[in-house]
Amino acid sequence: MILIDGKNISSKVKDEVKNEAINLANLGIKPGLAVILVGDDKASLTYVNSKEKACKMCEIYSVKKTLPASTTEDELLNLIDELNKDDKIHGILVQLPLPKHIDENKIIEKIDPKKDVDGFHPINVGKLSIALDGFVSCTPAGVIRLLKEYEIDISGKNAVVIGRSNIVGKPMANLLLKENATVTITHSKTKNLDFYTKNADIIVVAIGIPNFLKADMVKDGAIVIDVGINRLDDGRLVGDADFENLKEKASFITPVPGGVGPMTIAMLLNNTIISTKNFLKEKK
Ligand code: NAD
C-alpha cells in the first residue's frame, strides 16, 4: 500500500503558488483573494483564518470581510458587487454555509465568474461539464492533483464517486470523466452500493459518515480517496473510509488527516493565481 501524502503535495503546490505570486507581483499585479464570512460559525471561522494565513505565506494579498449573522442578503450582494469591481481582488470566496435568511444560490451567482475561485458559479460548473477551462471546485481539483502526482493513470479506470454534493461529488465525477475514467456516481438512495464499489479501480468517498467504506466493499488493489472529515466524540478526526482495515487491501489510500484536506486550500490559492494570470492577459 502506498500512502498518498497530501500534506507534502500541498506544500509543493503552495511553493509553486508563492513563486508565481512573486513573479506576478514583479509584473505589477499582486494576486488578491477576498474571503467573506457571515456569522460566527466556529468551523467556518477556522477555515477562513487558515485561508488568510495561507495567503500570507504565499505572498497573496488577502482581504477578510467578517460580517454579523444579521447581515441582509442585499448587504452581502452589495459587498460582492464592490469586490467584483475591485482591481486588487482576483478571487472572491464566500464561506458556506450562509445564515438561513440568505439565498446561497443568489450569492454565488452574484460573484463575477472570472473571480469565482471556488468554482461554484453555474458558469464554471457548466464549463466543467462540457470540459471547457474554468474554475474547478478546490477539493475535487486537489484529488485529481494527488492522483497525478502519484502517477496514477485515470484513463479507462472504473471510478466510483460516493456522494453527489455540488461542492465535491458532482465536480469530482466530472473531473474523473474529463480524465477518461468510466464514472459511476452513487449516493444515499443508491441500492447495492457494494456492487459498484467492488468493481471500482478508484473510489472517492465524500459523504460525511465516519469509517463508512469498509474493506469488504472494495476489491484488492483499489485506490481509495477519502474526502470525509468527521470529528468523533472523543475528539479524533476520521474520514469516511475505514482506513485501518482498508490499508491492507488498497494499492493507494489517503489518510485523514493529511490526505485530501490540505489540498483544498492549496488549490484555492492555485485558482487565485490562474485568475490573476487571466486578468493580466486581459490587461495586455
Ligand atoms: P454533503 O452533506 O453535501 O453531501 C453528502 C453526500 O453523501 C450526499 O450526496 C448524499 O447523497 C451522500 N450520502 C449520504 N449518505 C450516504 C450513504 N449512506 N451512501 C451513499 N451516499 C450517501 O457533503 P459534502 O459537502 O460533499 O461533504 C462530504 C464530506 O467531505 C464531509 O465529511 C465533509 O466534511 C468533507 N469535505 C471535505 C473537504 C476537504 O477539504 N477535504 C471539503 C468539502 C467536504
User: What CATH number did the domain enclosing 175 receive?
Assistant: 3.40.50.720
Nearest one of 270, 166, 163, 184 to 227, comparing CA atoms: 163
Instruction: Quote the number of domains for the chain.
Output: 2
Position 53 in a domain: yes
In total, the chain counts a number of residues equal to 284
Omega prior to 257 cis, within 30 of 0: yes
User: pLDDT digit of tens for each residue in the chain (284 aa)?
Assistant: 999 999 999 999 999 999 999 999 999 999 999 999 999 999 999 999 999 999 999 999 999 999 999 999 999 999 999 999 999 999 999 999 999 999 999 999 999 999 999 999 999 999 999 999 999 999 999 999 999 999 999 999 999 999 999 999 999 999 999 999 999 999 999 999 999 999 999 999 999 999 999 999 999 999 999 999 999 999 999 999 999 999 999 999 999 999 999 999 999 999 999 999 999 999 87
Ligand 1 and 152: CB distance under 6 A: no
Ligand 1 and 50: CB distance under 6 A: no
Ligand 1 and 227: CB distance under 6 A: yes
**What is the structure's pLDDT at 284?**
76
Counting ligand 1 atoms within 8 A of each CB, the residue from 186, 229, 254, 271 with the most, and so the one to mutate, is 229
Position 214 in a domain: yes
CA-CA distances (angstroms) from residue 65 to 58, 61, 82, 109, 228? 20, 13, 12, 19, 28
Domain CATH code at residue 40: 3.40.50.10860
Position 117 in a domain: no
Neighbours of 16 (CB within 10 A): 15
- Write down which residue in 94, 112, 130 finishes a domain: 112
Is residue 108 located within the same domain as residue 212?
no
Domain residue limits at 224 = 138-261
Is residue 107 located within the same domain as residue 151?
no
Position 124 in a domain: no
How far apart CA 69 and CA 101 sit, in angstroms, is 10
Is residue 243 located within the same domain as residue 144?
yes
Position 22 in a domain: no
Q: Evaluate whether 162 touches 187 at the Cβ level (below 8 Å).
A: yes
How far apart CA 234 and CA 217 sit, in angstroms, is 26
Is residue 195 located within the same domain as residue 83?
no
Counting ligand 1 atoms within 8 A of each CB, the residue from 4, 9, 161, 165 with the most, and so the one to mutate, is 165
Position 268 in a domain: no
Q: Evaluate whether 160 touches 195 at the Cβ level (below 8 Å).
A: no
Q: Is 61 helix (H, G, I), strand (E, B) or coil?
A: strand
Position 13 in a domain: no
Q: Is 38 helix (H, G, I), strand (E, B) or coil?
A: strand
How far apart CA 158 and CA 231 sit, in angstroms, is 30
